[in-house]
C-alpha cells in the first residue's frame, strides 16, 4: 500500500446556535457539561478551515456524535460545514452515533428548554449519504455500518455500533458476520483494512473497564475477532479522551485502538494520522485553533480546561447533594478542606507541595488530566503517592469492593486500575506516537 494520511476528528457535537443557547436554563445545564455548546459551531468552523487549508492531507474521517443531541437543524448546518471541506478538495467519511438521532433534542431560551425537531436513523442516511455511503462497497442498512475504499488499496470498515438504543455499544454476531465478509473481500482484493467505531473497543484507561458504556460490549471478544481476522487497528471516540491502547488475542494477534478526544471540549484535540505501511501508523495530535474573537484573557486551551475542571467539581457536588448527614459531611469536606487537612483526618501523609491545595481543585485537575492522555501522575509524583497511600489505608474495605465487582471470573485490582488511570505507565504516549501494528 502507499502511505495514506488523513485527519481524524470526532465528537464534534455541533449545535446550531439559532436554536437558542443562552439564558437561565442554558447556564444551569452548562454547570455540569464538560464540553462547549454555544461555541461548538465556531470551534468546528475554525477547525475545518484549518484542515481545508492543508494542501498535504486530502481525507477527513469522523467517527460519530456529530451533533449535540440529534437536532435536525444542527445536522443541516453541520452538513454545510462538511460540504465546505469537500469544496476544498477533501474526501469526507463519517459514521453517526447515539447523539445524532433523537437524543432529547432541544434549544435553550430564558428559563426554558425548548423541544426541537430531531432526526431518525433513515434521515441520517440521507443527510450523510455523500460522506461515506455514496462510495461504500457495502452498507449494513440495519446499523448504517459500511465499508469504503478510502485510498488506493486501503479500506475502512466503519462500524456504526450506536445506531439504536438496543444496539448501543455493540458489534454483535450478525454485524461481525457482515464484517468478516468485508474483511475477506478486502484481503482477496489485496487491500489493507482498518476500522472506525464510535465506542472505544479497548477501554481507554483501566478504570473504564468497569464502566459499561465506556467501551464496546464484550470488548475482548470483539478485539480478538478483529485482530484474528487481520484488522489490527481502529479509530474511536465517544469517551472524549486521548488514548492509544493495545490488546493481544489468545492467538497472539495485536489490536490497537486509537481514541480521540471530543473536538469541542477539553482537551479539544484532533489527530493527523499517517498509515505508513501495513505495520506502522504515525499519530500526531493537533489542538483546536483559536476560535473566539473575544479571548477573555484566557488561552484557548485554558478556556476548555476550565470548563472541564469546573463541571467535574459541579458533578461531584451534584452526586453529594441531599439532606442526609453523611452527604452533608462529605459535601463540607469536599468543598472546604485542603489536601493537608484531609490527610490529617485520614492519617495519611501528604507531600508538602500538595498540603495547601483545595480538595475541589485537586479533583478538577485530576478529572481534566485523565482526558488529556499522557496522564502525569506516575509513580514518584506526590499525587501518585497520596492516592497510593489512600488505597493502602483502606485496603480491607477495597478488597471487599473488588470482590463485589468480580465479573466473568476477573477480579479487578482497584488500586492498580486507578493508579494507571491517573498516570500513564504504558511506555508510550497517548498523543504523539509511532505505533507498530504487528
Ligand atoms: Fe460524544
Ligand atoms: Fe458517544
Cα dist from 234 to 20, 159, 201, 282, 371, whole Å: 36, 10, 8, 13, 19
Domain check: are 148 and 258 in the same one?
Answer: yes
Question: Cα dihedral angle (87, 54, 94, 245), rounded to 10 degrees?
Answer: 180
What is the rounded average pLDDT of the residues 311-335? 95
What total of structural domains would you count in the chain? 2
**Domain limit, last residue, from 241, 266, 291:** 291
Domain check: are 275 and 315 in the same one?
Answer: no
Question: Which of the ligands is closest to the CA of residue 11?
Answer: 1
As a whole number of angstroms, the distance between CA 42 and CA 345 comes to 47
Domain check: are 260 and 314 in the same one?
Answer: no
CATH of residue 240's domain is 3.60.21.10
Q: Evaluate whether 11 touches 64 at the Cβ level (below 8 Å).
A: yes
Domain check: are 286 and 307 in the same one?
Answer: no
As a whole number of angstroms, the distance between CA 208 and CA 23 comes to 34
Domain check: are 282 and 306 in the same one?
Answer: no
For residue 259, the model assigns a pLDDT of 98
CA–centroid distance, 282 to ligand 1, in Å, is 24
Q: Evaluate whether 349 touches 389 at the Cβ level (below 8 Å).
A: yes
277 in a structural domain:
yes
pLDDT digits (tens, 9 = 90+) for 255-290: 999 999 999 999 999 999 999 999 999 999 999 999
**Domain limit, last residue, from 228, 263, 291:** 291
**What ranges in 18-87 are assigned the alpha helix state H?**
24-30, 40-53, 72-87
Question: Which of the ligands is closest to the CA of residue 198?
Answer: 2
Q: Where is 259: in which H helix or E strand?
A: strand 254-259
As a whole number of angstroms, the distance between CA 424 and CA 162 comes to 29
CA–centroid distance, 352 to ligand 2, in Å, is 40
296 in a structural domain:
no
CA–centroid distance, 326 to ligand 2, in Å, is 34
CA–centroid distance, 208 to ligand 2, in Å, is 14
Residues near ion ligand 1 (CB < 5 Å) are 11, 65
| CA nearest neighbour of 100 among 177, 161, 56 | 161
CA–centroid distance, 333 to ligand 1, in Å, is 32
β-pair partners for 148:
136, 156
Domain check: are 237 and 367 in the same one?
Answer: no
Domain check: are 120 and 258 in the same one?
Answer: yes
Domain check: are 271 and 308 in the same one?
Answer: no
433 in a structural domain:
no
β-pair partners for 14:
67
As a whole number of angstroms, the distance between CA 415 and CA 420 comes to 8
What is the rounded average pLDDT of the residues 294-305? 85
434 in a structural domain:
no
Domain check: are 81 and 142 in the same one?
Answer: yes
| Higher-confidence position of 1 and 7 | 7
Question: Which of the ligands is closest to the CA of residue 14?
Answer: 1
Domain check: are 90 and 25 in the same one?
Answer: yes
210 in a structural domain:
yes
Structural domain containing residue 320: 302-422
126 in a structural domain:
yes
CA–centroid distance, 400 to ligand 2, in Å, is 32
What is the rounded average pLDDT of the residues 402-429? 94
Residue 44 in this model has a pLDDT that exceeds 90? yes
Percent of the chain with pLDDT over 70: 99
Confidence of residue 168 (pLDDT cuts 50, 70, 90): confident
Q: Which residue has the cell 495547601?
A: 356
As a whole number of angstroms, the distance between CA 25 and CA 33 comes to 13
Q: The whole model's pTM is what?
A: 0.96
- 280's CB contacts (< 8 A; 6+ apart) are 434, 435, 436, 437
What is the rounded average pLDDT of the residues 325-331? 94
CA–centroid distance, 96 to ligand 1, in Å, is 11
Confidence of residue 293 (pLDDT cuts 50, 70, 90): low
What is the rounded average pLDDT of the residues 83-110? 94
Domain check: are 265 and 124 in the same one?
Answer: yes
pLDDT digits (tens, 9 = 90+) for 45-84: 999 999 999 999 999 999 999 999 999 999 999 999 999 9
β-pair partners for 255:
247
Residue 408 in this model has a pLDDT that exceeds 90? no
What is the rounded average pLDDT of the residues 201-229? 96
20 in a structural domain:
yes
CA–centroid distance, 65 to ligand 1, in Å, is 5
CA–centroid distance, 387 to ligand 2, in Å, is 30
As a whole number of angstroms, the distance between CA 29 and CA 31 comes to 6
For residue 114, the model assigns a pLDDT of 94
Q: Which residue has the cell 485542603?
A: 338
Cα dist from 369 to 38, 131, 205, 337, whole Å: 24, 33, 12, 21
Domain check: are 48 and 115 in the same one?
Answer: yes
pLDDT digits (tens, 9 = 90+) for 337-378: 999 999 999 999 999 999 999 999 999 999 999 999 999 999
CA–centroid distance, 324 to ligand 1, in Å, is 34
pLDDT digits (tens, 9 = 90+) for 13-25: 999 999 999 999 9
Handedness of CA 258, 260, 201, 415 (dihedral sign): positive
CA–centroid distance, 99 to ligand 2, in Å, is 6
Amino acid at each position: 500500500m502507499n502511505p495514506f494520511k488523513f485527519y481524524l476528528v470526532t465528537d464534534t457535537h455541533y449545535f446550531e446556535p439559532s436554536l437558542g443557547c443562552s439564558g437561565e436554563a442554558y447556564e444551569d445545564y452548562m454547570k455540569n457539561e464538560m464540553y462547549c455548546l454555544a461555541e461548538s459551531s465556531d470551534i468546528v468552523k475554525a477547525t475545518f478551515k484549518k484542515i481545508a487549508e492543508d494542501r498535504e492531507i486530502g481525507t477527513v474521517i469522523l467517527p460519530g456524535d456529530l451533533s449535540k443531541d440529534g437536532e435536525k437543524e444542527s445536522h443541516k448546518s453541520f452538513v454545510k460545514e462538511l460540504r465546505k471541506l469537500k469544496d476544498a478538495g477533501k474526501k469526507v467519511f463519517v459514521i453517526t452515533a447515539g447523539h445524532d438521532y433523537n437524543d432529547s433534542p432541544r434549544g435553550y431560551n430564558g428559563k426554558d428548554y425548548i423541544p426541537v425537531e430531531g432526526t431518525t436513523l433513515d434521515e441520517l442516511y440521507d443527510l450523510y449519504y455523500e460522506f461515506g455511503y455514496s462510495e461504500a462497497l457495502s452498507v449494513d442498512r440495519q446499523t448504517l455500518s459500511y465499508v469504503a475504499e478510502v485510498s488506493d488499496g486501503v479500506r475502512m470498515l466503519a462500524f456504526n455500533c450506536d445506531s439504536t438504543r438496543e444496539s448501543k455499544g455493540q458489534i454483535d454476531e450478525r454485524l461481525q458476520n457482515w464484517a468478516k465478509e468485508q474483511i475477506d473481500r478486502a484481503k482477496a482484493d489485496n487491500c489493507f483494512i482498518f476500522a472506525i467505531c464510535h465506542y472505544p473497543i479497548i477501554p481507554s484507561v483501566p478504570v473504564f473497564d468497569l464502566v459499561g458504556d465506556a467501551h464496546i460490549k464484550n470488548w475482548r471478544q470483539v478485539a480478538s475477532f478483529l485482530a484474528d481476522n487481520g484488522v489490527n487497528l481502529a479509530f474511536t471516540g465517544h469517551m472524549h479522551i486521548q488514548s492509544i491502547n493495545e490488546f493481544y488475542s489468545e492467538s497472539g494477534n495485536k489490536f490497537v485502538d486509537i481514541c480521540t478526544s471530543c473536538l469541542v471540549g477539553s482537551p479539544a484535540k484532533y489527530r493527523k494520522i499517517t498509515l505508513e505501511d501495513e505495520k506502522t501508523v504515525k499519530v500526531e495530535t493537533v489542538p483546536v485553533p483559536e476560535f473566539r474573537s473575544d479571548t477573555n484573557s484566557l488561552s484557548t486551551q485554558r478556556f476548555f480546561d476550565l470548563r472541564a475542571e469546573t463541571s467535574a467539581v459541579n458533578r461531584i457536588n451534584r452526586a453529594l447533594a441531599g439532606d442526609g448527614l453523611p452527604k452533608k459531611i462529605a459535601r463540607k469536606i469536599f468543598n472546604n478542606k485542603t489536601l493537608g487537612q484531609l490527610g490529617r483526618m485520614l492519617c495519611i501523609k501528604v507531600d508538602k507541595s500538595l498540603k495547601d491545595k483545595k480538595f475541589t481543585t485537586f479533583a478538577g485537575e485530576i478529572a481534566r488530566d485523565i482526558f488529556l492522555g499522557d496522564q502525569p501522575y506516575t509513580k514518584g509524583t506526590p499525587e501518585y503517592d497520596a492516592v497510593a497511600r489512600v488505597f493502602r489505608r483502606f485496603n480491607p474495605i477495597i478488597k471487599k469492593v473488588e470482590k463485589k465487582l468480580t465479573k466473568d471470573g476477573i477480579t479487578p485490582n482497584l488500586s492498580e486500575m486507578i493508579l494507571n488511570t491517573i498516570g500513564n505507565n504504558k511506555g508510550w504516549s497517548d498523543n504523539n506516537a509511532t505505533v507498530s501494528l504487528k
